[in-house]
Amino acid sequence: MKRKQDTSFRVETATELMPFLLSKLGGMTRTSVKQLLSQRRVTVNAGIQTRHDTPLKAGDKVQVLQGRGNVELRHPKLRIIYEDDALIVVEKKNGLLTVPYNPKSSEMTAYSILKDYVRKQSNRNTVHVVHRLDRETSGVLVFAKSAELQEYMRTYWKQLVTKRTYVAVVEGHLEKKEGTITTWLTEDPHTGMVYSSPKDDGGQKAVTHYKVIHATTIGEGDQDMPISLVELNLETGRTNQIRVHMQSIGHPVMGDRKYGHGNEYSPIDRLCLHAKVLEFIHPMTEKKVRFETSMPKEFRVDND
């Protein structure tokens, strides 16, 4: 008996993955389509997609794979949102390190979880860290499947990345609703603290563009505390850049124990910083790819 052939479709007009599949796979319900996605049986331009709201543009190739699909990663702290032969793009939850501080450490990290995942697919597969997020920062992370690709992406990261957008809840109400912070950052090799200077003092130039999405006040009476939800776009990607920049203008990120007041005034038990959007030129296809995750529900401060 012949194996059923994979089903391919070409996108004609911009849409999202769910309505596109529903229109092409006659009779399938939304639940059935979500099952296909969870089984990692849907690819867009040869990359596995698991999100039903993945945006599609004219010319994209969507394929539904026959069989049981690939090994699925199930972990409360890490979710794969895209995978192809070159890259794995994940959403990391807060509280999980990207890589261990000590190579000999047995602590669970995003790297160790993915290393185990690819080993189950093939003993020859490996993963390599392209960039990092702090332990308490959540959001989009990219891993390469070869050391050569890792080196290439790290070397040309600035040229490859076209957009990096974060969201954060910060202390206070900003005087300017949008603006740009430009300082020079220097990391203390002994403490790991990063210090900011408004003038070129030999440190690394760092540029952050910010925009206030919403401002409100939480608490009651003497405990009232003004807070703001802010969108931040990075022009540079320095260590702790956003956290240091927000501290430098008097509005540290809520829950920041290193550069702010920690959880002393925060009703949210975490660092309120999330890497929401990462857009870059795919090193193999040379096409622009964009990955976006939902803002954590605890960041929503617009329900007053």
134 is catalytic: yes
Q: From CA 293, how far away is CA 287, in angstroms rounded? A: 20
The token duo for 219 is 């608490």
Retrieve residue 210's tokens.
Answer: 């910010």
- Listing DSSP states for 46-58 in one string gives TEEE--TT-EE-T
Ramachandran category for residue 139: left, alpha or beta (phi over 0 → left; psi -120 to 50 → alpha):
left
Query: Which pairing describes strands 7-10 and 61-64: parallel, antiparallel, or unpaired?
Result: antiparallel
Please provide the distance, in angstroms rounded to a whole number, between the alpha carbons at the two ends of the chain.
62
Q: Catalytic: which of 60, 84, 134, 256?
A: 134
Task: For the beta carbon of residue 204, count every other beta carbon within 10 angstroms.
Answer: 14
SS3 content of the chain, % helix, strand, coil (to 5): 20, 35, 45
> H or E segment at 2?
none
- Helix H or strand E segment including 64: strand 61-64
Catalytic residues: 134
